[in-house]
Chain A
Amino acid sequence: MTGPAILLLLAGLGAIAWVSARTRALRLQTVARASGRRDAVHSLPGYHGWYVALWTLIPAAIFLAVWANVAPGLVTQSVLSDPAAQSLPADAFSRASVLGEARAIATGSQAGAFNPQSQALVEPYRTATTKYGVAGAVLALLLAFAGGAYAFTRVRPDFRARTRVERLVMGTLLVASLIAIITTLGIVASLLWESFRFFSMVNPVDFLFGLKWSPQSAAMGYGNEDAFGAVPLFWGTIFIGAIIAMVVAIPLGLMSAIYLTQYASPTVRKWMKPTLEMLAGVPTVVYGYFAALTIAPALRDFAVAIGIHGASSESALAAGLVMGVMIIPFVSSMADDSIAAVPQSMRDGSLAMGATTSETIRKVLIPAALPGVVGGVLLAVSRAIGETMIVVMAAGLAANLTANPFASVTTVTTQIVQLLTGDQEFDSAKTLAAFALGLVLFIVTLLLNIVALRVVKKYREAYE
């Protein structure tokens, strides 16, 4: 019996259980009410229905989930005990390949056998699969009946079915909210585990402070020393994400926020604010393509025209400029919030002393809002250094340690993509290095976020 058929059958059983339990509860309660035992009725009939339906479905579903993991092993075992399996090669690897081929033919995903031995095993495979499939289905249905019958006997007017069902709902909600913790733990665990394996091959000090990055040479067997120095990547990331992008985003974002909140008429504000926010909604792959196709060649031509040597068509400036534009709405909305949080009395006081609007903004509002603005900028930096597609498409792969914005630099995220795509064996230092880089990126963005949120929170409290 196939999987979907069993699931459909179970769903049908659940529906039957719901209807019959609800009907029974309704009848029993009518009888109880008629006999004057009003207080003996607890839950609405529908809850009895749900209670029985859940007892029908959940044990069977759990069993099926377990069975789906156990059954393949049982099938393999029964195939191995078949007389046709006696002639199998002894070593585990070729045995597994023969078995895998037999399985592929049995399920129909492969037409013919490459190995004559596997052809002989196809028939035992089919029988075993059918046997265990039917066994699983029968057991699941039995469980469903048993669970449903047990719950059905408990349907009585005063049975607290609602409490039970609600307890399950609450449990589900709690489990759902634990997924966030599990995800965080999964991220930390996987990054730490793979990084740990990487650091058993490469000295962490060499990784964090080494000046030379050439994982290709390590992959070609020249040894891991001197190949995984990540400082050029860290510099490239900071240069593009924290310097060039911020030089673009901070003035433009801050001034846009000031203009839109302090000067612009409501109509202008109503139209321009969503327009600027569209900048944040454009997918990063579009920015990357735009940077690579339009901005980068223009910048290179410009650099060549004014006589700068070493201008690359994959310049740090192109990636940084476009990334800065992407970050503008982010800085702008943070600045907007923190300026709005400055008490009106401070603004009024300044204006009453005869200061012009711009003097009030520059000498009163901005200094008062500075912690919030700084917090926003830190969040923006953490966003920029974790950004991937723009730098993958517009920044280069050459790990240069240079301050020339027209030259090519590479970043942490670019290298992660570079190391993990294409042909790879998973256990080499080259692929594991990506996880070490990911760990560094994770820690840095986490710290930036914690500091930023703390700064913003402290400052909000100061004015509340």
Chain B
Amino acid sequence: MTGASAPGRNPTDWKSDIMRKRIARRYAAERRFKAAGLFAVLLSAAFLAFLLITMMGNGLRGFTRTEIALKVDFPASPLLLDPGTITDEALNQANLPMVTGTVAKKALGGDADALLSPTAWVSIRDAIKADPAILSRTETISVPASTAIDLANKSEGSPEAEAQVARLKQQGVLSTGFNWSFLSASDGTDPTQVGIWGAFKGSLLTMLVTLALSFPIGVATALYLEEYARKNWLTDIIEVSINNLAAVPSIIFGLLGLSIFLNFLSLPRSAALVGGMTLALMTMPVIVIAGRNAIKSVPPSIRDAALGIGASPVQVVFHHVLPLALPGILTGTIIGMARALGETAPLLMIGMRAFIATPPGGVTDPATVLPVQIFLWSDEVSKGFVEKTSAAIIVLLAFLLAMNGLAIYLRNKFETRW
């Protein structure tokens, strides 16, 4: 080997101290680099975990409510109701809110108004409706506590409320129950009474409009571009438009919806219809791109075989290519819909941030959607809204997770490797 090296130059002595140190240094750098990579991955994952844990920590409380066991002595109460004829009308005329106030003052003391939620009488009405026989005896009914008590019981309230909670705890009437009204009520001003049903229904209607518009249009576009379009200037423009639309910031779609749908076409403001149309324009490019990939992956032999036995080009596509590409298209559609479900900014532009206390009855009624509801609640000053906001976020994330899970399931189940 020595003969092969250049004259005047000794072969490298790999065992020398210098070389050993050098190699050790290089290996240390290698380890550092690898550790940095691992650190980056873990940091990103840690952030996700931190976010989810924070939301869970704040939000799970939003699903519960503080209840006070109220002893109601019906015969002694000023309630004028005949147990035999309990109708909705009779209950409405019985002035239950006032009766509840009187009963509560007797059971809990003079500050009862501050302890009970303004909707406490609803629980008593429902109890009477469920079993009119209780009107002739003394019954203990769980009624929701006021926001101040709720806060003081769950985390930290005003000193006054804390004292009241301590007293109620001593009496043993305080309990925590699942807050069904959070799932069935709509927006309100009092955090213990708000619910997500209105926003959820708005989201549902909006998504229906979005799906009804973007799915047919997206699939038709993908079929046209992939199967029929000749390479010419029109096709080029369509392709550029779609790629461009996929990259346009979502708020620009909101501006489009505002100036075209609302001001030019005079469609109703804040309606699920306009929200759905705006989101459909955003979702369509996603479906087109996913659809084109799915259609592209159907092997040409299938088209050739169909054409070979006499099918027309339209029959080839609608009888063979489309059914085979459908799982892929559906996966892309679900992912696009999940994105639309979480979208907020364009809907703010078309006025869906209004205070809506009744669930929308149709697509033209004023509505709001879950993400916008989260945004609205996050702006509220009252401390009780923090847990409601986080709880609404948990619901939204659960839905997104379910949709993405469905997409992955569909992809794994129906994916064909040709």
Contact = CB atoms under 8 A, between A and B. Distances in A.
A386 B216 CA distance: 28
Contacts of A292: 378
A379 to B, nearest CB: 8
Contacts of B345: 284, 388-389, 392, 413, 417
Nearest to B54: A294
A259 B252 contact: no
A183 B26 contact: no
A289 B250 contact: no
Contacts of B348: 417, 420-421
A190 B260 contact: yes
A286 B396 contact: yes
B412 interface: no
Given A186-B256, A426-B263, A388 B217 contact: no
Interface in B226-271: 228-229, 237-238, 241-245, 247-253, 255-256, 258-260, 263-264
B270 to A, nearest CB: 12
Contacts of A325: 44, 47
B250 A183 contact: no
Contacts of A346: none
B174 to A, nearest CB: 28
Nearest to B41: A256
A288 B55 CA distance: 12
Given A177-B225, A256-B41, A388-B345, A290 B247 contact: no
A46 B229 CA distance: 27
Contacts of B216: 176
A259 B34 contact: yes
B312 A166 contact: yes
B342 interface: yes
Interface in B269-288: 281, 284-285, 288
Interface in A366-413: 379, 382-383, 385-389, 392-393, 413
A177 B240 CA distance: 12
A359 B29 CA distance: 9
Contacts of A388: 249-251, 344-345
Interface string A239-271: 000000000000111111011101110000000
A389 B314 contact: no
B312 A255 contact: no
A293 B41 contact: no
B16 to A, nearest CB: 17
A446 B244 contact: yes
A438 to B, nearest CB: 5
A362 interface: yes
Contact of B255 (A263, A286, A416): A416
A179 interface: yes
B406 interface: no
A179 B221 contact: yes
Report the contact-size class of chain A (Cβ under 8 Å from the partner): 35 or more
Given A286-B397, A421-B353, A179 B284 contact: yes
Contacts of B54: 290, 293-294
A288 B51 contact: no
A361 B34 CA distance: 11
Contacts of B378: 285, 288-289, 292-293, 393
Interface stretch (A75-83, A104-112, A272-280): A272-280
B349 interface: yes
B353 A263 contact: no
A449 B248 CA distance: 9
Given A289-B389, A445-B249, A177 B37 contact: no
A285 B33 contact: no
Given A184-B245, A286-B396, A434-B255, A255 B224 contact: no
Given A190-B256, A388-B250, A282 B43 contact: no
A228 B269 CA distance: 28
Contacts of A262: 37
B120 interface: no
A446 B247 CA distance: 8
B234 to A, nearest CB: 9
Given A276-B41, A325-B47, A417-B345, A183 B259 contact: no
Given A251-B40, A264-B41, A356-B26, 12 more contacts: A170-B228, A187-B256, A255-B36, A281-B338, A285-B378, A290-B51, A356-B30, A358-B34, A386-B249, A386-B250, A417-B345, A441-B249
26 contacts: A176-B216, A177-B221, A179-B221, A191-B252, A252-B44, A264-B41, A272-B45, A276-B48, A281-B338, A282-B51, A282-B342, A285-B371, A286-B51, A286-B393, A293-B54, A293-B58, A325-B47, A358-B30, A379-B247, A383-B249, A386-B248, A386-B249, A386-B250, A416-B255, A442-B252, A446-B247
